[in-house]
Structure 1
Amino acid sequence: METRRGYSIFHIGLHWLIAALVLFQLFFGESMTAVVDAAEGGQPVSVTDKALGSAHYWVGLAILALVLVRLIVRLASGVPAPAGRGPKWMQVAAHASHGLFYVLLLAAPAIGLLAFYLGDPWGDVHSLAKPAFIALIAIHAVAALYHQFWLKDGTLKRMLSTAG
């Protein structure tokens, strides 16, 4: 592990790019369901659903690739020590939530590919990723705001600027 205080611009860029792509998937991913359902029912698909369904596929692949890059960079260069030590339970919760993010960020696209090429039950399993992401993102955001405004330990600042 490195001893620097903040993340590199590359770490920060990957974090926010992956976050934006995940939000795109959460907001527009239902179009893929519409495409699959229409195909199974022999129904026509709207141009919008077709375009967003295709985007869902490619954005999912991009997330998978970027997360693999992020993991390689993380393993190669390490990450800075936590800004604030806090109680042990908080450190365990931080590690667990980040670990869950990586599992979801790798598993959701992989299972999505299985769903796309093999169908059910993979589609049903893949659909569980959405509520899991929403819950984890909410916890992550609340924790970041708690660190920023209650603990004032600079945790959030480190993911917004390299000056952290």
Structure 2
Amino acid sequence: MSSLERFATEKSTVTGIVLFNLLLPDAIKRTGSASVDQIASANIHAYVGVAILILVVLRLTLRVVQGVPASPPQEPKIIRLGSQAVHVFLYGLLIAMPATGMVAYYLGFRAAGDVHADILKVILWLLIVGHVLGALAHHFYWKTDILRRMTVG
């Protein structure tokens, strides 16, 4: 398996579990009490969040050690800078989301839970939409292989 294929496979794993956690309904209602099912769901959400944090740290380590694929030459410089900014924010959120979730869930800081669920989650969805639109623009407008690199390597 080439380094580009490993890069895409590992990226797909992170993407899948991030989407799983984003789509998993809020496990504990803000009433202060929770059913057994809600607690089980919250535990799954928390464990997946820890896995996301570990995988993102490993992914960032790979980016430093192996580098990243070059940007396509037909990509305008302003778009390249925007792409880099989106990636910085995505990685920042993929670290901040599990961190705030763990502080809220394990340490009981409700404000961290509010930031986690009400602010960071919305920002993450917006960045995901922007990321997908950017990939589609690369595929259909600039006719680059970015979408293929993101999905299959």
- TM-score, normalised by the number of residues in structure 1: 0.84
1:75 aligns with 2:64: yes
- What letter matches 1:151 in structure 2? W
1:65: which partner in 2?
54
What percent identity do the matched residue pairs reach? 32
The partner residue of 1:119 within 103, 109, 122 is: 109
- RMSD over aligned Cα, in angstroms? 1.7
1:25 aligns with 2:27: no
| Structure 1 CA distance for aligned equivalents of residues 143 and 45 of structure 2 | 37
| Structure 2 CA distance for aligned equivalents of residues 91 and 103 of structure 1 | 18
Larger-Rg structure: 1
2:75 partner SS: coil
Structure 1 residue 18: Cα displacement: 1.0
- What letter matches 1:53 in structure 2? A
Moved >4 Å (runs of 4+): none
Moved more, 13-22 or 61-70: 13-22
1:100 aligns with 2:96: no
Structure 1 residue 29: Cα displacement: 4.4
- TM-score, normalised by the number of residues in structure 2: 0.90
Gaps of 5+ in 2: none
1:7-18, aligned counterparts within 5 Å? Answer: 8-18=4-14
Moved more, 82-91 or 123-132: 82-91
1:139 aligns with 2:135: no
| Structure 2 CA distance for aligned equivalents of residues 97 and 84 of structure 1 | 19
- What letter matches 1:45 in structure 2? S
| Structure 2 CA distance for aligned equivalents of residues 134 and 22 of structure 1 | 11
- The aligned length equals 150
Contact 1:85 1:91 in 2 (8 A): no
Contact 2:4 2:149 in 1 (8 A): no
